[in-house]
């Protein structure tokens, strides 16, 4: 089961990379990056999964005393929580820069943005 | 064509790496040392029911402070980059429709309430400041969809944002003097595991994070929506 989730994550990363490498339109590249970002998060969360265990929240179902035997690894979940939030910030920044580029050059096609070409 | 082939070759290499990782992966049967420490000590040391929250707010609290700062910087730069787009208020827009307007009026208070619930209960249930903040920002997004010309007070947003940030750091510094260190949650009584008023300062800190994240996301949304084509 974990392998299916992990394979989905890897597939999303590959789809995102493919999109970012082949598309010329900045907006499409940004969408592709967010797809790859989601894939990375899925993979990291799946690493923390352990068969037959419960979420790392202590309540009536999981007593604090036997938590070590009952819960999955909480560290990847904490990592992904951070990664998702930073991903939103990165996406917002990319969109803002894309808008600035469009405003200045009237195009989102990277093939036509040649200002840095020697 | 050549470029596409190069891209595909690169992807094939990545795919090979991922396939090797995937076939060689076997899930752990036991928690590793770090996770074991968190699982054993969280309830006794911090009194938080949600171990992920305990890691984010207290064990790795300094990292979370840095993360909130990164988010603040992203929001500030988005505002800066988009600042030049003037808002043309005179242009008429087609009405968005009765359904969306009425639905917004009906849903926004409930979404805000859900957001507050999620971040106040961050130490007990799956959720917390970042999730609650995102939910609050989704209410702002709904309001912007219903009325794209609506103007949100940037002064109010930044006042909420900076006040939450200052209080967050102040609680952290209080931990230096009253408890074991920076951002230690034991400046307040730990209470009973699983109650709303438990886990020391964690609900307080996570509520402040929720307000801060909600304000930052809202300011990003407002900046993006106020930008008009020149």
- The model's confidence at residue B120, banded by pLDDT at 50, 70 and 90, is confident
Task: Please judge whether A68 and B31 are an interchain contact, meaning their C-beta atoms are less than 8 angstroms apart.
Answer: yes
Percentage of the residues of chain A whose pLDDT score is greater than 90: 25
To 10 degrees, the CA torsion angle through B103, B107, B108, B114? Answer: -160
Task: Please judge whether B29 and A50 are an interchain contact, meaning their C-beta atoms are less than 8 angstroms apart.
Answer: yes
Q: What would the pLDDT profile of B166-176 be if each residue is shown by its tens digit? A: 998 888 888 88
Q: Are the C-beta atoms of residues B132 and B119 closer than 8 Å to each other? A: yes
Give the pLDDT confidence score for residue A33 in this predicted structure.
Answer: 93
**Residues B219, B224, B230: CA angle, nearest 5 degrees:** 135
Task: Please judge whether A17 and B193 are an interchain contact, meaning their C-beta atoms are less than 8 angstroms apart.
Answer: no
Buried b (16+ CB within 10 A) or exposed e, A10-39: bebbbbbbbbbbebeebeebbbbbbbbbbb
* Eight-state DSSP code of residue A57: B
The Cα of B217 is separated from the nearest Cα of chain A by a number of Å equal to 9
Q: Quick check: B217 contacting A, CB < 8 Å?
A: yes
Residues in B closer than 8 angstroms to A99, CB to CB, are 81-82, 85, 227
Give the pLDDT confidence score for residue A32 in this predicted structure.
Answer: 93
Interface of B with A in 159-178 (CB under 8 A): none
Over residues A94-104, mean pLDDT:
86
Q: Are the C-beta atoms of residues B152 and B193 closer than 8 Å to each other? A: no
- Residue A95 tokens read as 């969109």
Average pLDDT, rounded, for chain A = 86
Q: What would the pLDDT profile of B61-73 be if each residue is shown by its tens digit? A: 888 888 888 888 8
Domains of chain A: 2-52+73-112 (1.10.287.3510)
- The model's confidence at residue B89, banded by pLDDT at 50, 70 and 90, is low
Residues in A closer than 8 angstroms to B34, CB to CB, are 75
**Domain boundaries of chain B, sorted by first residue:** 48-87+96-226
d(CA A93, CA B84): 15
Q: Measured between alpha carbons, how far is residue B42 from residues B78, B197, B203 in Å? A: 38, 16, 15
Check whether A12 has a pLDDT greater than 60: yes
Q: What would the pLDDT profile of B168-219 be if each residue is shown by its tens digit? A: 888 888 888 887 778 777 777 777 777 777 777 888 888 898 899 899 888 8
- Residue B84 tokens read as 């030049």
Its sign, for the CA torsion B142, B144, B148, B149, is positive
Give the pLDDT confidence score for residue B84 in this predicted structure.
Answer: 67
For testing contact with chain A, the best of B19, B47, B81 (most A CBs within 10 A)? B81
* Burial of B42 per CB tally in 10 Å (0-12, 13-18, 19+): buried
- Tell me the ipTM for this assembly: 0.80
Q: What would the pLDDT profile of B27-46 be if each residue is shown by its tens digit? A: 877 788 888 888 888 777 77
Task: Please judge whether B51 and A58 are an interchain contact, meaning their C-beta atoms are less than 8 angstroms apart.
Answer: yes
Over residues B210-229, mean pLDDT:
83
Give the pLDDT confidence score for residue A9 in this predicted structure.
Answer: 92
């Amino acid at each position: 089961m974990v392998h299916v989730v992990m394979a989905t994550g890897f597939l999303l990363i590959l789809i995102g990379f493919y999109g970012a490498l082949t598309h010329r339109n900045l907006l499409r590249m940004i969408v592709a990056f967010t797809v790859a970002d989601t894939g990375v998060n899925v993979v990291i969360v799946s690493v923390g999964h352990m068969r037959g265990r419960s979420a790392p929240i202590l309540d009536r179902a999981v007593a604090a005393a036997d938590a070590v035997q009952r819960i999955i690894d909480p560290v990847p979940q904490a990592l992904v929580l951070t990664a998702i939030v930073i991903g939103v910030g990165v996406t917002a920044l990319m969109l803002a820069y894309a808008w600035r580029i469009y405003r200045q050059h009237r195009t989102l096609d990277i093939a036509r943005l040649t200002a840095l070409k020697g | 064509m050549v470029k596409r082939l190069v891209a595909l070759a690169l992807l094939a290499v990545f795919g090979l790496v991922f396939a090797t990782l995937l076939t060689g992966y076997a899930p752990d049967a036991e928690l590793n040392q770090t996770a074991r420490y968190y699982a054993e000590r969280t309830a006794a040391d911090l009194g938080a029911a949600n171990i992920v929250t305990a890691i984010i707010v207290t064990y790795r609290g300094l990292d979370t402070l840095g993360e909130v700062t990164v988010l603040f910087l992203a929001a500030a730069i988005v505002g800066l980059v988009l600042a030049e787009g003037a808002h043309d208020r005179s242009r008429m827009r087609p009405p968005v429709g009765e359904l969306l307007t009425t639905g917004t009026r009906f849903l926004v208070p409930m979404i805000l309430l859900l957001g507050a619930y999620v971040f106040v209960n961050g130490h007990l249930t799956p959720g917390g400041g970042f999730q609650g903040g995102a939910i609050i920002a989704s209410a702002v997004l709904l309001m912007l969809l219903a009325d794209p010309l609506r103007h949100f007070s940037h002064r109010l947003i930044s006042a909420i944002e900076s006040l939450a940030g200052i209080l967050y750091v102040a609680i952290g510094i209080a931990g230096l003097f009253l408890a074991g260190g920076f951002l230690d949650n034991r400046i307040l009584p730990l209470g009973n595991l699983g109650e709303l008023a438990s886990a020391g300062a964690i609900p307080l800190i996570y509520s402040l994070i929720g307000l801060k994240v909600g304000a930052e996301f809202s300011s990003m949304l407002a900046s993006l929506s106020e930008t008009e084509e020149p």
